Structure 1
Amino acid sequence: MAGHMSFPEPPNIFSSWYPIGIAVIAGVLYALRQWFRGPQYIATTKLKGKTVIVTGANTGIGFAVAVDMATRGARVFLVCRDEAKGKAAEEEIRKATDNMNVIFMKCDLASFKSIREFVENFKKKEEKLDILINNAGVMMCAEGETEDKFETQFGVNYLGTFLLTELLLDLLKASPSARIVNTSASASNLGKINFDDINMKEDYTPGQAFAQSKHAVDMYSIKLAERLKGTKVTVATVNPGIVNSTGLRHLPMKTSSFLRLSLGLPIWFMLKTSADGAHTTVYAAVENKLEGVSGRRYKDCQDIKFDDNTKDEEFCNKLYEKTLEWTGLKKARSEIE
């Protein structure tokens, strides 16, 4: 038929437009995939002699960060709630990095008792802490409570992180130069703190509970950086972006078999891998030019602004005072300042 085009025969394929079209499409897809992955932080900073804690290090971003820290020669503590998974991660990272100073220690951020026990045991092993990476957290889970009767996401993502950090401040101050890296999320900008119903008993939604917990993390990070002025401890907040990891396990695209199958390829294509998501955390933890820089927020290895309502000094102070009460640190305040 006149004007009809068909796929060329093999001998003629490279004399047609098909290879050019295929190459262009492949190039565009590759470029898009790289863009979705975000910047790759590749600095070779060594951490020999440094002690690092990574919470939630048995899987996802935490595991990738721990591998990076171990590769740089640090003494890395994998702080996880699941002993079997923590031990397995310890063995895997040791083999992958040839670093035998990778140590699992159990700690459940949903339990103030567990956090205190961990800190007590850690202080028996170490006299200083150089990098604290507060990575562990939960996202969009069903309504529930921690051991201490707080809404799960607020209790784990914020209160657990707060208590662990406060109890380790003396070891961080004992380091010649220490960094605290707290993990936030874009949802923080949608969060608000309801002091009258902190557990969201009246109107619980997984999304709003997650946003509240990360909003609190951001406010705590700002307040902590202010409190630590004049010391050699800096505070950074990181937003790793949307990562295709176990952190998404409570979302419909992971819980529904139909959605998991139908959206599997687009999800893989558009979301970061755990290794990709770890780059900003590693950047905040080791980048030399950030030495002495505190109270900043980072995404894709770049400085980004906090939302205006996050920086409200009066609100940050109120949250800090209330959190001291919630975690039982109010009476011990003089010991942690």
Structure 2
Amino acid sequence: MGWLDVLWNPVWAISTALLALVVRMQRRGRWDPHACTVRLKGKTAIVTGANTGIGKSIALDFARRGARVILACRSEARGTATLKEIREKTGNRDIHLRLVDLSSLDSVREFTKRILEEEKALHILVNNAGISGLPRQITKDGFDVSFATNHLGPFLLTNLLLDLMKRSAPARIVNLSSVNHVKGEVDFSHFHGENLTYHRDNVYNHTKLHNIICTNELARRLEGTGVTANSVHPGVVMTEVMRHYPFMFRFLFNCIGIFFFKSPDEGAFSPTFCAVSEEMEGITGKYCDSDCSLVLPAPLARDAALAVKDFEICERLTSKL
């Protein structure tokens, strides 16, 4: 039973919420980004979905460390508001907004083209943006919109920026996944919206499994380049990722979450740990839990042969014919 499922059962909801509180209290002091003295002056970082939630908190942390931060957002209005807020809070003026719609491969190509033209280096890439609970929608590229946004778009974006990151090494790629990947399945027809059940987080879970699988294969391919790639579960976080769910479901989640789930700032701890901590220097192809510890993901996510096949299929799907 996953964390979304428990909301439909009051007994499970209460017991799980209490457990989440205990775990949260125990793990709070494991790694504190505010106590981490690593500076990012002279470093460039890109954070997708940086106008809200976890992405915004990550971008704010990077800005405080002195990095040149590129906010990769779909909404110009919300992105501009976040840019102004981060500049005001940190005093760092080297914060910039670049628009990208990850569900569109053309938009991803336009975004990366501009990055390659304007940026001399890229040291950190955090693929944070994601959606959940959307009904069936097929993009103009022929993909399910959730798979396009959560996996294929970030996959293409990352691969188009790899040469720049190699030239900037040491560099780090951090892909946000979820503990819910354990409920995911691998069926390559899913990419095109076939054989999918559009019920609550089902599609989301599949995409999060693919995130880890392809991150592991990317890490293998990047060995010896000085670029690392890791996936991370940020925890159960109060963000806008569930804005497409029914009102009553969101209401229950928010009522419980106020007391027991992580804030966006707390949800940014483990992704930030992977992106900046000295402990993660040289570590690659790993899955980081919400308490900043390295753990084993689901068995499917560790299947090396499946990883090669998945990566090659994604390469073909995102190639410009």
Q: Structure 2 length normalisation: TM-score? A: 0.87
Structure 2 partner of 1:221? 215
- Residue 251 of structure 1 deviates from its aligned partner by 2.9
Larger deviation: 199-208 or 264-273?
A: 199-208
Structure 1 partner of 2:308? 317
- Residue 250 of structure 1 aligns to which amino acid in structure 2? H
CA change 1:231–1:84 in 2 (3 A) is: same
Structure 1 partner of 2:5? none
Give distance in 1, aligned partners of 2:98 and 2:205.
29
Structure 2 partner of 1:105? 98
Residue 191, structure 1, aligned to residue 181, structure 2: no
Residue 270, structure 1, aligned to residue 260, structure 2: yes
- Residue 263 of structure 1 deviates from its aligned partner by 6.0
Structure 2 partner of 1:160? 153
For 1:14-93, list aligned pairs within 5 A.
Answer: 32=22, 35=25, 38-39=28-29, 40-42=32-34, 43-93=36-86
- Residue 159 of structure 1 deviates from its aligned partner by 0.1
Give distance in 2, aligned partners of 1:263 and 1:278.
19
CA change 1:35–1:168 in 2 (3 A) is: same
Structure 2 partner of 1:142? 135
Match of 1:210 among 191, 194, 204: 204
Which structure would you say has the larger Rg? 1
CA change 1:259–1:326 in 2 (3 A) is: closer
Residue 298, structure 1, aligned to residue 288, structure 2: yes
- Residue 266 of structure 1 deviates from its aligned partner by 2.4
Aligned length: 298
Give distance in 1, aligned partners of 2:49 and 2:125.
12
Whether the 8 Å contact between 1:50 and 1:74 is mirrored in structure 2 is yes
Whether the 8 Å contact between 1:50 and 1:75 is mirrored in structure 2 is yes
Whether the 8 Å contact between 1:41 and 1:301 is mirrored in structure 2 is no
- Residue 134 of structure 1 deviates from its aligned partner by 0.4
- Residue 36 of structure 1 deviates from its aligned partner by 8.3
Structure 2 partner of 1:281? 271
Q: Please, what is the CA RMSD of the aligned residues?
A: 2.1
For 1:249-260, list aligned pairs within 5 A.
Answer: 249-252=243-246, 255-256=247-248, 260=251
Structure 2 partner of 1:237? 231
CA change 1:157–1:221 in 2 (3 A) is: same
Larger deviation: 213-222 or 303-312?
A: 303-312
Whether the 8 Å contact between 1:112 and 1:327 is mirrored in structure 2 is yes
- Residue 195 of structure 1 aligns to which amino acid in structure 2? F
Give distance in 1, aligned partners of 2:306 and 2:106.
28
Give distance in 1, aligned partners of 2:292 and 2:23.
18
Larger deviation: 268-277 or 32-41?
A: 32-41
Give distance in 2, aligned partners of 1:164 and 1:99.
26
Give distance in 1, aligned partners of 2:190 and 2:157.
24
CA change 1:41–1:224 in 2 (3 A) is: same
- Residue 287 of structure 1 aligns to which amino acid in structure 2? S
- Residue 196 of structure 1 deviates from its aligned partner by 3.8
Q: Deviations over 1:23-76 (max 9, x none)?
A: xxxxx9xx7595288454331210000000000000000000000000000000
Give distance in 2, aligned partners of 1:144 and 1:292.
39
Identical columns (%):
37
Give distance in 1, aligned partners of 2:239 and 2:27.
13
Whether the 8 Å contact between 1:33 and 1:270 is mirrored in structure 2 is no
CA change 1:264–1:217 in 2 (3 A) is: closer
Give distance in 1, aligned partners of 2:281 and 2:131.
30
Q: Deviations over 1:235-274 (max 9, x none)?
A: 111100111111121233xx23x962x6644220111110
Query: Tell me, what secondary structure is at the counterpart of 1:295?
Result: coil
Match of 2:240 among 218, 235, 246: 246
Give distance in 1, aligned partners of 2:188 and 2:317.
11
CA change 1:237–1:33 in 2 (3 A) is: closer
Whether the 8 Å contact between 2:144 and 2:190 is mirrored in structure 1 is no
- Residue 147 of structure 1 aligns to which amino acid in structure 2? K
